[in-house]
Amino acid sequence: MSDNQDADGRFPGSTWACHACVRGKCEVFGPPGTNQEGFHMNHGFGTGLLCATILASGIAAAPALAERILRADEAPIGELDPAKGTDYGDTVLAINLYDSLVYPAQGASGVQPHLATGWSIDGAVYTFNLRDDVTFNSGNPLTSADVVYSFERLMAIGQGHSGLFEGVVDSVEAQGDHAVVFTLTEPFAPFLASLVRLSIVDSATVMANEADGDWASVWMSQNSAGSGPYVVVSHDPQTETVMAYEPDYFLEPAENYPERVRYRYGLDAPAVRALMARGGHDISSQWLPPEVLAALAESGASLVTEAGLTGEYFKLNTRRAPLDDVHCRRALAYAFDYGTLLQLTRITPETTQGRPMSGALPEGLLGFDPERPYFERNMALAQEEQALCAHDVADYPLEVAWIAETPARERGALMMQAIYSQLGYKVAIVRTPWVLLTERVTNPETAPHVVEIAISAVSPDTDSLLFNMYHSSMPHTWMSSSYYVNPELDALLDEGRMETDPAARQELYAQANAILAEEVPDIYGYELLSTFAVREGVTFHNLADPARTYPVSGFNLRFMDISVPATE
């Protein structure tokens, strides 16, 4: 799965999950401190406890020593290896287990110092000064050699976010213990922002766990070797990753930060509902249906949203007739029912999972223009554009694919089928599993005409979104599955990479955005606001207060920034 897009993707199979036992039917008779001990379950043959059975309060026979626990969940299984992960859950794990040189800037765009105290840029040469007070969870001090090793490891494995640096970095060198020099092949403005994705691993620990030159990738998928605020206690792909706080972390945690975190996988809506109501779960995933989020809010949970630079795009295949004709594309875009779609994302009068878009760019990215009008449905203009289209739509049944793992997207597909038949299109809806879709989109000739995908900016830089989606040099992937070719746009995007002055870049990306709105290689459905239900008594500071929010999707769920009550 990828950044965000498909992860509505609880597996259709994992229909239920944890639930509480109630009315004192499952008391614990164990000695005090039962849940203080680590989870032995996963040593040995570890079968993993699945989620919770909750004790009806007051009946629990043995209140353990108070330990603050945070229980959150995510639909797809999280990948622990920072060199492989790309999903939302992977990001959450990476930022809690590892540190990066820079972090997305809090309450602002761009980046802020993290492991790096500062940096200097001389054309294509970036020199970072590192903090000297950081140690890995193993006790080893974090030095510039670890940064070099982490970069080499990422590129050697060649998965995860390595694409951000592919062909960009010429060399990385340590300069003493606490300075590191990146030499780029040519000036590349988005580079600094990309570094939020370079997690620094403990080179000594990783090398000690290598087998057959695998860069310890098997070991790293089960354990952590970072300097982050948490360390992996156990990891069971079917149930959860358990993490414990590292008291020596170099940043201050929030008041009543969680000492232990259970990051659960594949919990289903009814389970989350039941668990939260009984105090057995703290933060839901963002993939709950609006109905369930509304029910949770009604029963006392608060809803918070994260605008993670994510758009809900309906990618149009510009290489396949009739959508190779811009008029046909515009007809589809004008006929599109933005209003209804947004209405469907509304959870309560105050909270919604979507806000309208005015171009290809979500708010908060360089180039976003607040003056642009939002897209709206206009059937008259749609008919007009349809008349200009060179193709007879009757000849081309329109294939609309939706990702099988995200059942909510069927609604969008059904809506398009209903609407576009009014323009004379015959619409076939195809439910496609994500893995098959990623394979299908590599060939523009046979890729579907329309597919709905949520795509996030990987770094807090506009380039990480627009270049991947629309530059004609990009290989054909799900991100670039409109296969759009426009030399004018390519030139703007290329220039955006070389230009270092933010004001000039703002202008370049605003122009690019205007072209994209005009040429509609995609229908820009809405900007996705990830919505989480938070149990009463738990405070998700980063999302509760806009001034504390980090702009990139996933970077807010840093567990030590969350306040939880002590669990007995």
Measured in residues, the chain has a length of 568
Among the listed residues 32, 34, 186, 208, the single contact to another protein using CB under 8 A = 34
* Residues 114-153 within binding reach of another protein (CB under 8 A): none
Minimum CB distance to another protein, residue 165 (Å): 13
Task: Name which of 295 and 564 has its Cβ closer to another protein.
Answer: 295
Q: Closest separation between CB of residue 185 and another protein, Å?
A: 17
Letters for 301-340 (x = contact with another protein by CB under 8 A, - = none) are ---------------------------------------x
Question: To the nearest 5 percent, what fractions of the chain are helix, strand and coil?
Answer: 30, 20, 50
- What's the CA gap between 235 and 244, in Å, rounded? 12
- Pick from 431, 494, 511, 514: which binds another protein (CB under 8 A)? 431
Number of residues that bind another protein (CB under 8 A): 100
Cα distance between residue 215 and residue 157, in whole Å: 8
Check residue 87 for interaction with another protein (CB under 8 A). Answer: no
From the CB of residue 439, how many other CB atoms can be counted at a distance below 10 Å? 13
Exactly one of 7, 70, 72, 79 binds another protein (CB under 8 A); that residue is 79
Output 83 or 95, the one with its CB closest to another protein. 83
Interacting residues with another protein between 40 and 59 (CB under 8 A):
40-55
Q: Which residues pair with 352 in a beta bridge?
A: 346
Cβ 464 to another protein shortest distance, Å:
13
Which CB sits closer to another protein, 43 or 392? 43
Segment lying near another protein (by CB under 8 A), choices 9-17, 309-317, 321-329, 533-541 = 9-17
463 binds another protein, rule: CB under 8 A: no
Near another protein in 335-364, by CB under 8 A: 340, 343-344
Binding mask 247-276 vs another protein (x if CB under 8 A, - otherwise)?
---------------x---xxxxxx--x--
Quick one: which of 191, 470, 478, 526 contacts another protein (CB under 8 A)? Answer: 478
- Please report, for residues 166, 227, 331, 450, the alpha-carbon distance to residue 453 in angstroms, rounded to integers and kept in the order given: 24, 34, 20, 10
Nearer to another protein, 401 or 520 (CB): 401
Q: Show the tokens assigned to 20.
A: 């509480």
Query: Of 53 and 106, which CB lies nearer to another protein in the complex structure?
Result: 53
Distance, CA of 183 to CA of 171 (rounded, Å) = 5
- 567 touches 68 (CB < 8 A): yes
Cβ 271 to another protein shortest distance, Å: 6
- Piece of the chain touching another protein by CB under 8 A; list 243-251, 414-422, 539-547, 552-560: 414-422
- Binder to another protein among 177, 324, 384, 410 (CB under 8 A)? 410
When asked if residue 77 is in the footprint of another protein (CB under 8 A), the reply is yes
Distances (CA, A) of 305 to 3, 265, 488, 531, 533: 17, 20, 36, 4, 9
Token duo for residue 404: 């099988």
For residue 505, count other CB atoms closer than 10 A to its CB: 22
Which lies closer to another protein via its Cβ, residue 126 or residue 287?
287
Q: Which of 272, 206, 311 is nearest to 10 (CA)?
A: 272
316 with 491: CB under 8 angstroms? no
Q: How far is the CB of 203 from another protein (least distance, A)?
A: 21
Q: Residue 520, class by beta-carbon neighbours within 10 Å (0-12 exposed, 13-18 middle, 19+ buried)?
A: buried
Q: Output the CA–CA distances (angstroms, integers) from residue 507 to 121, 165, 367, 467, 514, in the order listed.
A: 22, 25, 6, 16, 11
Question: Which of 205, 221, 391, 540: binder of another protein (CB under 8 A)?
Answer: 221
**Residue among 45 and 487 whose Cβ is closer to another protein:** 45
Q: Cβ closer to another protein: 372 or 440?
A: 440
Residue 384 to residues 76, 422, 524: CA-CA distances in angstroms? 44, 13, 20
280: which DSSP letter? S
Contacts of 480 (CB under 8 A, 6+ apart): 468, 469, 470, 471, 474
**Stretch 497-516 residues interacting with another protein (CB under 8 A):** none
CA distances from 197 to 44, 104, 126, 371 (A): 33, 10, 16, 32
Which of 179, 254, 429, 514: binder of another protein (CB under 8 A)? 429
**Does residue 365 belong to the site contacting another protein (CB under 8 A)?**
no
Decide if residue 233 touches another protein (CB under 8 A): no
Residue whose C-alpha is closest to residue 336's, from 272, 419, 437: 419
Q: Is residue 104 at the binding interface for another protein, with CB under 8 A as the rule?
A: no
Please tell me whether residue 154 binds another protein under the rule CB under 8 A: no
Q: Exactly one of 108, 155, 321, 414 binds another protein (CB under 8 A); which one? A: 414
Does 565 bind another protein (CB under 8 A)? Our answer is no
CB neighbourhood size of 166 (10 A): 10
H helices present in 299-359, as ranges: 326-335, 338-345
Structure tokens that stand for 519 in this block: 């040429």
